């Protein structure tokens, strides 16, 4: 490090002010090009990920793991007009996603199931509302809901998004709506 500082001071003493300014300007231009390149790569990668998500169909959700499905539902929520969509910590307390829409903070429980979603999923999301400072709750699944789950959701003003509504979300997302 000391050798580098000495070399810079020695160069500084031998180089004219014009040369130093050219070197600084070149460094700034190079830094700008690198930043632009990094941003371009990030943008392309993000676009590629969105294109991959748009190509998915409802049947594809059956083969995702739980976390992949949560991320997919988060993107679908954005397509439905939700903002500030974030996934909660890995070991959540009943809410997998938090999102804002119309000034309302939503807590969303995501269930990728091959069988019917039972009332426990509704209980989890409803009881976690205060923990995450949410006003409304929603359960999203690639499956259907049991009758007790629907009754419990109705009595707690919890929105249920089953496979049919999810299919509509996917179609809207694919169409870019």
Residues 19 and 81 in one domain: no
Residues 20 and 34 reside in one and the same domain: yes
What pLDDT, on the 0 to 100 scale, is given for residue 54? 46
The answer on 76 and 18 residing in a single domain is: no
pLDDT for 49 equals: 56
Residue 93 sits in the same domain as residue 141: yes
Could you give the C-alpha distances from 123 to 77, 83, 111, 160, 167, in angstroms and in order?
21, 25, 13, 12, 24
Check whether residue 88 and residue 168 sit in a common domain: yes
Mean pLDDT for back-to-back runs of 10 residues, the chain (177 residues): 52 61 64 70 57 51 75 90 89 88 95 92 95 95 94 96 86 72
Query: Same domain, yes or no, for 63 and 141?
Result: yes
pLDDT at position 46 is 56
Look up the domain containing 48 and give its range.
Answer: 2-52
pLDDT at position 8: 62
DSSP category for residue 145: B
Question: Within this chain, do residues 91 and 145 fall inside the same structural domain, yes or no?
Answer: yes
């Amino acid at each position: 490090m000391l050798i580098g500082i000495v070399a810079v001071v020695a160069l500084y003493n031998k180089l004219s002010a014009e040369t130093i300014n050219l070197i600084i300007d070149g460094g700034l231009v190079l830094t700008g090009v690198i930043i632009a390149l990094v941003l371009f790569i990030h943008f392309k990668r993000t676009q590629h990920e969105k294109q991959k998500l748009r190509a998915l169909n409802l049947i594809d959700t059956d083969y995702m793991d739980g976390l992949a499905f949560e991320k997919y539902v988060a993107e679908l929520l954005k397509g439905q007009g939700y903002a500030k969509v974030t996934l909660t910590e890995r070991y959540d307390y009943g809410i997998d996603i938090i999102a804002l829409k119309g000034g309302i903070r939503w807590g969303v429980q995501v269930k990728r199931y091959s069988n019917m979603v039972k009332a426990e999923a509704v209980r989890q999301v409803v009881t976690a509302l205060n923990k995450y400072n949410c006003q409304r709750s929603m359960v999203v699944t690639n499956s259907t809901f049991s009758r007790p789950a629907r009754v419990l959701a109705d009595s707690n003003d919890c929105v249920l998004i089953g496979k049919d509504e999810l299919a509509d979300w996917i179609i809207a997302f694919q169409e870019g709506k």
